[in-house]
Amino acid sequence: MEALTAFADAPETDMDALTTEMAPGITAPTEPGIYQGIPNEIYHGGPGASKSGLWTIHTQTPAHFKFPPPRGEMTTTRQATLDFGSASHTAILEPELFEASVMRGPADRRGNNWKDATAEAAATGRICLVAADYDNILTIRDTIHANARINAIITGGQPEIEASGYAIDPVTGQLIRCRPDVYRADIKIMLDAKSTASAHPDAFARSVVNYGYHAQEAHYSDIYRQLGREVDGFLFLAWEKESPYAIALYELPPSIVQEGRAIIRKSLNRYDECDRAGHWPAYGDEVTELKFKGWSYQLTPRPDDEQEAA
């Protein structure tokens, strides 16, 4: 139990609660602090254990974390998905910047009309979306910000949008990092926006466990607390991409967040072991006997141990 709570109970670092603005051309930080202006590709490709990496170790293996498959050439479908996600993020978190950051393109991606539109967007530093996607995102933005509570959290006070926090894990000494969508120092709240097939409470509760949102809350809030920031609440904004563009605002009970914290602790320890040994195993180096559920036996009696596994 002590190992599981050591991170949460670690003394805070006196950082004067300041955020560092990154200079152009800077590389990813390696020192503790909260930094603004780090591009996505530098943050995600830089040093430090993130929640997504630790979740990969937890749900797959260290090898899957260390040696992910090459992305290869960007397909049109994947590029469209990434562009939609990035544009949605801007519309939700920085609504005032959306129309200056995203361009409404033609109805489809065929022919010279699309080629000319993407060239214009690239020249002006904007994302080009097909007309329907652009219009849908405007509806999503307006639906979300029509909710007075959500709008007040995202746009009120002095929100820090996608700042990058770096700290040293007090148990392993490893660099760890996080990137909250929104942090409000004045009300001590973090908010993370999640697109989802269903924002229904039961469906989103399953998403929390399937995608590790409870681990994310623990990882993010613990890093910020270590950096001298207060986090009294963590909210998830669940939003659906299709009409009626339903939204919901959720918080997690402390018990499931503690489960997420235990996952992060176990995965960080594993990460540290692999990093120090220079060995990132997959499913094991030894011969392992497989186990089978009771329903696997149709024509022969089930062994006692398999009956227990059923």
Can you point out the beta strands (E) in the chain? 19-21, 33-36, 102-104, 127-129, 160-161, 164-168, 175-178, 182-184, 189-195, 233-239, 247-250
Closest CA to 236 of 195, 295, 282, 277: 195
- SS3 letters across 246-257: CEEEECCCHHHH
List Cβ neighbours of 135 (8 Å cut-off, separation of 6 or more). Answer: 104
The number of residues in the chain equals: 310
Distance from C-alpha of 278 to C-alpha of 104, rounded to nearest angstrom: 48
User: Looking at residue 2, what is its pLDDT?
Assistant: 32
Tokens of 148: 């007075």
- pLDDT per position in the chain (310 positions), as tens? 333 333 333 333 333 344 565 556 678 889 999 999 899 889 999 999 999 999 999 999 999 999 998 877 778 888 899 999 999 999 999 999 999 999 999 999 999 999 999 999 999 999 999 999 999 999 999 999 999 999 999 999 999 999 999 999 999 999 999 999 999 999 999 999 999 999 999 999 999 999 999 999 999 999 999 999 999 999 999 999 999 999 999 999 999 999 999 999 999 999 999 999 999 999 988 899 999 998 999 999 988 765 454 4
Contact predicate 220/52, CB 8 Å: no
C-alpha torsion sign, points 289, 294, 299, 300:
positive
What is the model's pLDDT at position 14?
Answer: 39
- The Cβ of residue 93 has, within 10 Å, a number of other Cβ atoms equal to 21
State if pTM tops 0.75. yes
Q: Which domains does the chain have, with CATH numbers?
A: 38-68+159-271 (3.90.320.10), 74-146 (no CATH)
Identify the pLDDT of residue 13.
38
Which element (helix H / strand E) includes 305? helix 304-309
Q: Give, to the nearest 10 degrees, the angle between helix 2-9 and helix 254-277.
A: 100
> What is the rounded distance in angstroms from the CA atom of residue 193 to the CA atom of residue 59?
22
Which two three-digit tokens encode residue 77?
């479908």
- Omega before residue 244 within 30° of 0, cis: yes
- CA dist 160 to 81, 94, 183, 226, Å? 25, 10, 5, 17
Q: How many of the other CB atoms lie within 10 Å of CB of 21?
A: 9
The answer to whether 176 and 223 are in contact (CB under 8 A) is yes
